[in-house]
Structure formats: structure tokens, C-alpha cells
């Protein structure tokens, strides 16, 4: 008998994705919660790939899942283990269950089952398996197997009584055993079903806690029965509510991106995504606190603070987190991510000096909402090939006189010996006073000429950043805009 899981000194948890698709946001959050819990208690996180469905599982998906986890900053201590390499263990366990009288051979074919199920339902009866094979004598079963008849192994669910467990988030959940059919443990092809493989593996890998999606809540009593039949105490379960789309249905492609890789590709920064995900269904003791790095998340995380109801994925809030994180990320950290975005659009920066690029990043990052902004909105800060926003031209440069003045202004800057933020401003203001025009008109016009945008940081900071030569050249081009 194992000891009470909740009193274990060092918790052991696992994340067990099925590689039949990329890492989706629901799975990512489950992984995150497991990780936060394990790190909070100094436990062990095991990664297990549940690839018993050979048809749908691919190695490519496994790589995608691992990439997604790494991107989110989730690391693991053991694994990845592959269920496909542990098939013997499942067969032996099923065999043992038969020997101990907890399971039996079932010779019903899939067709027969479907037929009888349909017939039962037509009569308004119970669609559960009718236990036809439950009482076949051991010798007969052996004989039929020897004769090569295909068979599955089913668990013999007790006819009476009920099964319950105490979930860390939902509390006590109880099911009447009569609601649970004699489920299959081992398929006729020799492969285990989910219920068998999870239990056998969680047992073999000495899991103390099972944190997974709430879609498994109704399946849990089956697994609890299996643990009991195997003579052990089940681990502590914690079921995490599901993530829904804006229409309150299960999140799917219809709602946009569902894989974490897609968010990476969309210019979301990993810290933002992790922070956002952590707050979907969980909140720290001080719920007014929202910005949390991994350290804070780990310190504050607690299973009991997980929400019981499903949460809707709010893209707007994610974007907000993204802008906050981009602003907070140091330029050194941001630059490599930005360079990936440049690569995607073929932008080759005119500047190669890292420090200079970093200071440019710092200049514009407060206005960024997405990493892509550095390759689109902010192109002019890094490249001489950028588009000019026509509405900005319309708004600030439609006056021919302004254009002329900007060209004149360029000549003045050309003659400056020092080109500083304060100095450039003085030149414009003096020039405006001289011409009896509002400085704002010139500043706004110059902004469009320099950045192609009507929106930008302080003009003089931009000039200082662009440098004298580039500032002059772009101002001179004002008349062509």
C-alpha cells in the first residue's frame, strides 16, 4: 500500500499530452499548472507522451509539443517517456487483473456491441455493455483464445455501491457504480485503452498528484476502481476547468489560433502568454495582482485557488499582457525575438551595432503591442525601406508650405555640429518662431517625414536615434511624400 499522497514529502507530477495535435492552449495551461505546483513544492515533473493511438500520433507532433513547452519556459525533470514503448507493462497489468478476478476476457466484436447497444437504446434501455462475457468460465475463455478468437479485456465493475474521490479543486465527487459500464482495459489488438495506461503509468511512475483537464472528471471513478483493484491508494486528483472560446463552446480552430506555436508566430512574447494562461482559472491570494513573472507565479501558486468554472479565452487581455511584457522586457532580451520577425518580412536593418539597435528598441517598445510591430509599424527606425502612411501625410503634410519648411529645416540640421535631443528641438522652435508658424505643425510634419507614421515617440528622441545624416536625408525627401 502506498502512503497518503498528500503527505508525501516530495510531490511527483506529470504532464501527459497525446501527440495527435500540437500543444493547444488548454494543454499548455494544464502543463503550466503542473509545473507551477511541482516547482512550488520542489517536486518532480515528468513528461509522458501518450501515443498509444498509433494512427493519430506522429513524431512531428511530439516535437511541436516539446517546442511549445520550451517556449513557455516549462521544463521537466524526467522523460519524455513514451507509452508506445511500455506496451508490455500494460498487457501484464491487464493479465494480472484477470488473474485476480477484477477483469475478464470479452469476445464480443465491435459490430456485435454496436448492434446490441443500438437495440437496447431503441427499446429505451441502457446503452451500457451488457456484460455478456463476464461469466465465461476461465477454461472456456482459455480454449477460445487458444483457438485464436480475438478478445478484449474488460474491467468488472462492481454492480452495487459507489465510487468517490476527493478532488483538490472540486471536492468530493461521487458516482454510483451502476452508472459505469464494464470498460475495456486492453483492446483486442493488444493495445491498452487510456484508463489502463494512465493508471499503470501513474502508478509505475509513482505519481502523487494528477492535475489534468476537467474533461476527465467523469472518467476518474473508473481509474479509482483500477487503483483499488491493483491494491493501491489513488493519487490526489486536481481537475482543472476547461478553456472555452468567446461563444462559450470548447476552444477550437473556429475561434482562431489554438496551438501555442501559433501565438509565438503571432508575435506574442512567452512571458505574457504564460502570465495570461496562469490567470485563466487561477488567481493569487491578492487578486489585484496580475503581472507576475515565473518566480512570483511559483511562489503564489496553489491548487485550492483554482476556479471551478470554465474560463473563456480573452484575446484582448492576452494582447494587453503582451504589450506590458514587451515594455518590461529589456532590449537585449527583446532583440532576438524582434530579429525573428524581421527575418519573416525580409527586413535587413541598416544598423548592425547591437547597442544602437537596443537603444532603438527601448525607444519604441513602449508603444508596441506585438512583436510584429517592430517589423511593421516601426520599420522606419530600423530600415530605410518603409511605407509611408497616407492618412498621416494627409493629416500633417498636406500643406505645401510645411514641406518646403521641412526642407529648409534639413539644411539647418545639416550645419549643426552637435546633434542632440535638446539641440534639435531648439532649432525647430527657433525656426518656427522665425517663420511665425506653430512649432507643432513642423514637428508633426517632420514626424511623418522621418518615420512614415503619424504616431511615434518624441520627435527629438527619434532624431537623436536616427542620427544627423538620416534625419537630414529624410527631411529633404519631404516634398516627395
Q: Which class for 465: exposed (0-12), middle (13-18), buried (19 or more C-beta within 10 A)?
A: buried
Pick between residue 97 and residue 151 the one whose CB is nearest to RNA: 151
Residue 212 forms beta bridges with which residues? 239
Pick between residue 72 and residue 318 the one whose CB is nearest to RNA: 318
Pick between residue 111 and residue 417 the one whose CB is nearest to RNA: 111
CB 424 within 8 A of CB 464: yes
- DSSP annotation of 4: P
Of 275, 282, 281, the C-alpha closest to 317 is 275
Residue 211 forms beta bridges with which residues? 238
How many residues in total does the chain contain? Answer: 481
Pick between residue 53 and residue 265 the one whose CB is nearest to RNA: 53
Pick between residue 2 and residue 416 the one whose CB is nearest to RNA: 416
Calculate the CA dihedral of residues 376, 380, 381, 385 and round it to 10 degrees.
100
Could you tell me the smallest distance in angstroms from the CB atom of residue 344 to RNA?
19
CB 449 within 8 A of CB 393: no
State the Cα–Cα distance between residues 375 and 343, nearest whole angstrom: 9
Could you tell me the smallest distance in angstroms from the CB atom of residue 113 to RNA?
6
**Count of CB atoms within 10 A of residue 231's CB?**
10
Could you tell me the smallest distance in angstroms from the CB atom of residue 458 to RNA?
3
Q: Which class for 455: exposed (0-12), middle (13-18), buried (19 or more C-beta within 10 A)?
A: exposed
Residue numbers annotated as active site: 253
E strand or H helix at 29: helix 25-40
Pick between residue 56 and residue 344 the one whose CB is nearest to RNA: 56
Furthest CA-CA distance within the chain: 110
Pick between residue 35 and residue 90 the one whose CB is nearest to RNA: 90
Q: What is the Cα 344 distance to its own chain's centre?
A: 22
Could you tell me the smallest distance in angstroms from the CB atom of residue 323 to RNA?
7
Could you tell me the smallest distance in angstroms from the CB atom of residue 1 to RNA?
27
Pick between residue 8 and residue 419 the one whose CB is nearest to RNA: 419
| 3-class SS of residue 81 | strand
Q: What is the Cα 243 distance to its own chain's centre?
A: 11
- To the nearest 10 degrees (0 to 180), the angle between helices 59-72 and 25-40 is 50
| 3-class SS of residue 19 | coil
E strand or H helix at 78: strand 78-82
* Complete DSSP assignment for 311-358: EE--HHHHHHHHHHHHHHS-HHHHHHHHHHHHHHHT---S---HHHHH
Of 81, 77, 110, the C-alpha closest to 200 is 81
Could you tell me the smallest distance in angstroms from the CB atom of residue 194 to RNA?
3
Could you tell me the smallest distance in angstroms from the CB atom of residue 178 to RNA?
9
Could you tell me the smallest distance in angstroms from the CB atom of residue 8 to RNA?
25
Amino acid at each position: 500500500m502506498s502512503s497518503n499522497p498528500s503527505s508525501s514529502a516530495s510531490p511527483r507530477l506529470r504532464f501527459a499530452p497525446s501527440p495527435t495535435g500540437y500543444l493547444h492552449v488548454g494543454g499548455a495551461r494544464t502543463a503550466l499548472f503542473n509545473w507551477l505546483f511541482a516547482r512550488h513544492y520542489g517536486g518532480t515533473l515528468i513528461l509522458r507522451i501518450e501515443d498509444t493511438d498509433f494512427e493519430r500520433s506522429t513524431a512531428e507532433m511530439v516535437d511541436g509539443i516539446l517546442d511549445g513547452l520550451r517556449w513557455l519556459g516549462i521544463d521537466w525533470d524526467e522523460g519524455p517517456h513514451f507509452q508506445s514503448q511500455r506496451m508490455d507493462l500494460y498487457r501484464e497489468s491487464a493479465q494480472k487483473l484477470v488473474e485476480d478476478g477484477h477483469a475478464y476476457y470479452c469476445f464480443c466484436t465491435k459490430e456485435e456491441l454496436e448492434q446490441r447497444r443500438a437495440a437496447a437504446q431503441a427499446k429505451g434501455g441502457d446503452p451500457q455493455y451488457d456484460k455478456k462475457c463476464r461469466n465465461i468460465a476461465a477454461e472456456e475463455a482459455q480454449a477460445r483464445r487458444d483457438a485464436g478468437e480475438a478478445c478484449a479485456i474488460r474491467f468488472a465493475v462492481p454492480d452495487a455501491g459507489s465510487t468517490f474521490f476527493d478532488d483538490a479543486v472540486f471536492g468530493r465527487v461521487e458516482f454510483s457504480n451502476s452508472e459505469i459500464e464494464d470498460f475495456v482495459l486492453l483492446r483486442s489488438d493488444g493495445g491498452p485503452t487510456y484508463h489502463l495506461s494512465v493508471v499503470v503509468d501513474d502508478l509505475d511512475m509513482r505519481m502523487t498528484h494528477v492535475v489534468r483537464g476537467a474533461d476527465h472528471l467523469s472518467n476518474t471513478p473508473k481509474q479509482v476502481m483500477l487503483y483499488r483493484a491493483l491494491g493501491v491508494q489513488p493519487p490526489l486528483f486536481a481537475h482543472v476547468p476547461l478553456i472555452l472560446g468567446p461563444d462559450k463552446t470548447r476552444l477550437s480552430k473556429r475561434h482562431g489560433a489554438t496551438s501555442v506555436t501559433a501565438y509565438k508566430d503571432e508575435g506574442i512574447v512567452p512571458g505574457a502568454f504564460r502570465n495570461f494562461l496562469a490567470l485563466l482559472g487561477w488567481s493569487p491570494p491578492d487578486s489585484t495582482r496580475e503581472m507576475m513573472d515565473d518566480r512570483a507565479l511559483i511562489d503564489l501558486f496553489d491548487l485550492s485557488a483554482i476556479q471551478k468554472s470554465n474560463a473563456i479565452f480573452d484575446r484582448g487581455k492576452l494582447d494587453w499582457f503582451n504589450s506590458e511584457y514587451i515594455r518590461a522586457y529589456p532590449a537585449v532580451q527583446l532583440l532576438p525575438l524582434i530579429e525573428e520577425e524581421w527575418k519573416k518580412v525580409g527586413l535587413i536593418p541598416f544598423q548592425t551595432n547591437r547597442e544602437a539597435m537596443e537603444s532603438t528598441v527601448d525607444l519604441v517598445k513602449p508603444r508596441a503591442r506585438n512583436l510584429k510591430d517592430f517589423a511593421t509599424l516601426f520599420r522606419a527606425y530600423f530600415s530605410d525601406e518603409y511605407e509611408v502612411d497616407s492618412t498621416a501625410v494627409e493629416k500633417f503634410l498636406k500643406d505645401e508650405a510645411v514641406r518646403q519648411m521641412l526642407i529648409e529645416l534639413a539644411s539647418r540640421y545639416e550645419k549643426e555640429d552637435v546633434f542632440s535631443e535638446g539641440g534639435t528641438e531648439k532649432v525647430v522652435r527657433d525656426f518656427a518662431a522665425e517663420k511665425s508658424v506653430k512649432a507643432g505643425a513642423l514637428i508633426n510634419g517632420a514626424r511623418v517625414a522621418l518615420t512614415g507614421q503619424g504616431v511615434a515617440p518624441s520627435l527629438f528622441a527619434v532624431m537623436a536615434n536616427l542620427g544627423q545624416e538620416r534625419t537630414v536625408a529624410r527631411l529633404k525627401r519631404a516634398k516627395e511624400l
